């Protein structure tokens, strides 16, 4: 098992008409000797579609489903990490914002959280399987494949009825000043009951859990982007103390902060730094709605 991996990634900003639905489209290549692989952990995120030209990874939601050998791997919104073992490969990733889920998937997101599946055989994700024929070939040209993704999604469903409310909820969620459900509901000018219903359907989780996930991801992202940082220097201000943070980190990552810090992160470290440089945000959960 290798601990180092060459990572080459290109980010493509969705065009204006699709930007509210997606974080980014990206092409990623890993460089490893034949037979070597690396292990890393995806952090909690929104739904994703990933298409592998060859050597698809073995991936497992900690304490949940596991998949291997599928060239089209789809995940719902997550509050747990996904452990993956990855060899040399080429892949396209599509990060789907809550509005994208509502527009293109259209089912209750709360029924598909913390899951990973073979998208080509899933009733929920099979409509995206034709993308595999476009993206899972070797030797493709990045720009041509990006244009294929754009054309594909432009041909699908129109905006959902709840678009304005979804945007409002998302805007409030990514604001660090919003840190409790009462303030969340007030910012969106809706009752807590309505907020609960819309968050579960389109974002996958109740409002309180979403706020807790944001707080943890702000801290984790700051740690990953700061050389030789200590957790104590990056803990979000809304944690009561370090013990509170440790408890919450374990709830979302299924391990302690020190265990996570001691692990190599051969893919995520490089990916997050490049994403921050290019997109201005290291992870999709911190992306503002467009």
> Is 201 among the domain residues?
yes
Q: Could you tell me the pTM of the whole model? A: 0.95
How many angstroms separate the Cα of 34 from the Cα of each of 55, 70, 88, 187, 282? Answer: 11, 19, 7, 53, 30
Number of domains in the chain: 2
- Kindly report the CATH number assigned to the domain that includes residue 27: 2.60.120.10
Does residue 190 sit in the same domain as residue 275? yes
Does residue 102 sit in the same domain as residue 232? no
Residues 63, 116 contacting (CB under 8 angstroms): no
> Is 236 among the domain residues?
yes
| The pLDDT of residue 3 | 67
Strands 58-61 and 47-52: unpaired
Does residue 81 sit in the same domain as residue 195? no
> Is 221 among the domain residues?
yes
Taking the C-alpha atoms of residue 176 and residue 211, their distance in angstroms, rounded to an integer, is 9
Does residue 73 sit in the same domain as residue 94? yes
Of 125, 154, 183, the residue at which a domain comes to its end is: 154
Residue among 123, 145, 121 at smallest CA distance from 72 = 121
Of 128, 154, 180, the residue at which a domain comes to its end is: 154
Give the residue ranges of the chain where pLDDT is below 70: 1-3, 138
Does residue 15 sit in the same domain as residue 144? yes
Does residue 115 sit in the same domain as residue 215? no
Does residue 106 sit in the same domain as residue 205? no
| The pLDDT of residue 149 | 96
Does residue 13 sit in the same domain as residue 75? yes
Residue 87: phi, psi to the nearest 5?
-100, -170
> Is 98 among the domain residues?
yes
Does residue 119 sit in the same domain as residue 196? no
| The pLDDT of residue 195 | 98
For the beta carbon of residue 165, count every other beta carbon within 10 angstroms: 18
> Is 252 among the domain residues?
yes
Does residue 187 sit in the same domain as residue 148? no
Does residue 110 sit in the same domain as residue 237? no
- Kindly report the CATH number assigned to the domain that includes residue 200: 1.10.10.60
- Give the domain extent around 34: 6-154
pLDDT digits (tens, 9 = 90+) for 237-283: 999 999 999 999 999 999 999 999 999 999 999 999 999 999 999 99
> Is 47 among the domain residues?
yes
Taking the C-alpha atoms of residue 99 and residue 44, their distance in angstroms, rounded to an integer, is 18
Name the CA radius of gyration of the chain, rounded. 18
How many angstroms separate the Cα of 109 from the Cα of each of 27, 77, 121? Answer: 26, 7, 18
> Is 1 among the domain residues?
no
Q: For the packed helices 163-173 and 207-225, what is the interaxial angle rounded to 10 degrees?
A: 50
> Is 43 among the domain residues?
yes
Of 154, 175, 202, the residue at which a domain comes to its end is: 154
| The pLDDT of residue 2 | 63
Does residue 197 sit in the same domain as residue 145? no
Residue among 58, 54, 27, 30 at smallest CA distance from 42 = 58
């Amino acid at each position: 098992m290798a601990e180092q991996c060459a990572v080459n990634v290109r980010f493509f900003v969705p065009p204006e008409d699709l930007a509210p639905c997606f974080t980014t489209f990206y092409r990623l290549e890993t460089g490893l000797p034949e037979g070597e692989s690396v292990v890393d952990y995806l952090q909690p995120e929104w739904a994703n579609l990933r298409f592998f030209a060859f050597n698809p990874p073995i991936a497992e939601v900690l304490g949940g489903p596991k998949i291997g050998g599928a060239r089209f791997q789809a995940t719902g919104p997550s509050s747990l990490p996904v452990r993956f073992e990855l060899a040399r490969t080429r892949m396209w990733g599509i990060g789907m914002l809550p509005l994208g889920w509502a527009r293109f998937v259209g089912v209750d997101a709360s029924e598909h959280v913390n899951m990973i599946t073979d998208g080509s055989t899933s009733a929920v994700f099979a409509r995206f399987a034709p993308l595999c024929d476009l993206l899972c070939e070797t030797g493709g040209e990045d720009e041509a494949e990006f244009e294929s993704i754009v054309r594909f999604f432009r041909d699908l469903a129109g905006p959902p009825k709840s678009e304005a409310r979804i945007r409002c909820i998302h805007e409030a969620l990514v604001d660090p000043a919003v840190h409790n459900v009462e303030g969340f509901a007030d910012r969106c000018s809706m009752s807590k009951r309505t907020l609960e219903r819309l968050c579960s359907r389109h974002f996958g989780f109740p409002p309180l859990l979403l706020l807790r996930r944001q707080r943890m991801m702000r801290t984790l992202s700051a740690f990953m982007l700061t050389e030789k940082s200590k957790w104590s220097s990056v803990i979000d201000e809304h944690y009561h103390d370090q013990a509170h943070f440790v408890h919450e980190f374990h709830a979302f990552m299924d391990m302690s902060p020190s265990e996570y810090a001691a692990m190599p992160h051969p893919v995520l470290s490089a990916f997050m730094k490049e994403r921050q440089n290019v997109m201005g945000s290291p992870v999709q959960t911190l992306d503002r709605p467009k």
